[in-house]
Chain A
């Protein structure tokens, strides 16, 4: 089975220190105002009579690109500049093929992508590819003081991530209208759950899906027409080479 790098997160261990988001920014040179990962927080319900009894009325949820099984961002990219890497299951951006058209940005239900203001391409989490090449874990994972984020290949039964998943119940945060089968698992339960938006294909990409067959149809029809004319020309020549006397066209060649 192919590798599927994933993140298994115990969000109840998250203390919202945001060290992961900072480590990510430093490691990946993420520009000002942009983030490759995040910590979401639940809305405390102060109307609940027992809210004071909980250890904390808030729940923190670390996240980032979920390297989905059904990546709608890949479906939105016209050139394959964003693709699911077959080797490790990570969703990647080929920074030299991407022209920064941004079609993939609204196609992500998690808002995990942004257009880099100076590199003019789309950027997002790549599980710290540079660090992984050196055999190290992603920056957010090693930085986390409570070890809320666990990273590994869930298809390798001996990996920490796979073992955690096997031993515990887990949930995934999805938008029901566009379930992209994310590879980010939260142990037992997590909050908030309702924040992912519906994946939206840009209008131009939707229009392309409609216009594509039409254009191919026109090209095909013309090609067919040319073939018919060619066939007619060849057959006519065979049948009646000399009868068409009134026209020098056929005789000139």
Chain B
């Protein structure tokens, strides 16, 4: 029952994860409240509600900007002090893809998650591939597919936000600012769509509870690691 715990996340990266989550929730809700336009806002009562809560649109904007700067600044600082130990290895990890193995993983995992294990073995039999879901590294390829747009989307969100703040100091042309607003909205929307899957997979999906708990404790049971991230476990064992 009690298996050995394997260290997976440092304290700082756990902190950054929840810092990111908190900022995202706050910025998403306040940002949605900043869109007040009959043609652009499907939830018309949300901006009205939020603006009365914050005491006016001007305060809402200020709160959103301060939180946004804190979020981007926090990650910039983290990126600087943990560039070699965390950031570069993370970037290398999310871009490392074994096309054959990972493609098979996507298909097999996709079938298993939607249709179940029985359907997977039937389909695998029919098309002549192994029903065993291929082993994965520190992240599985599904996580990588979300990590890449999340990281670069985050950068786009921060950059477009900064352009909007610069507009208030007169350092950005109006046309650039107009496009920055649209890019900000579109990028947040797309990353948020992926985030929904991330939240489900990490906190609700069956069998993923150890991963969720590890975002507090920093470690996962060896059984879990073997089952979900075998290639990573092998590497940990080697070293």
A residues neighboring B (CB under 8 Å): 75, 77-81, 94, 96-97, 99-103, 105, 115, 117-118, 120-121, 202-205, 207-209, 211-212, 215-216, 218-219, 221-223, 225-226, 229-230, 232-233, 236-237, 244, 246-250, 252-253
Contact = CB atoms under 8 A, between A and B. Distances in A.
Interface in B50-91: 56-58, 61-62
Contacts of A225: 196-197
A218 B189 contact: yes
B116 interface: yes
Given A216-B42, A226-B200, A253-B206, A248 B167 contact: no
A80 B181 CA distance: 14
A101 B174 contact: yes
21 contacts: A78-B35, A78-B36, A79-B61, A80-B47, A94-B56, A100-B168, A100-B174, A100-B177, A102-B177, A203-B178, A208-B40, A211-B185, A212-B39, A215-B185, A222-B197, A225-B197, A230-B204, A248-B223, A252-B209, A252-B210, A253-B206
B227 A219 contact: no
Given A100-B168, A120-B170, A222-B193, 8 more contacts: A75-B39, A77-B37, A78-B181, A80-B36, A96-B58, A205-B178, A207-B182, A209-B39
B147 to A, nearest CB: 16
A99 B177 contact: yes
Interface of B: 34-40, 42, 47, 56-58, 61-62, 113-114, 116-117, 164-165, 167-170, 174-175, 177-179, 181-182, 185-186, 189-190, 192-194, 196-197, 199-200, 204-207, 209-210, 223-224, 227
B207 A252 contact: yes
B209 A226 contact: no
Contacts of A236: 116
B39 A219 contact: no
B224 A211 contact: no
A219 B189 contact: yes
Contact of A253 (B38, B190, B199, B207): B207
A75 B38 contact: yes
Nearest to B226: A248
Contacts of A79: 34-37, 57, 61
Nearest to B36: A80
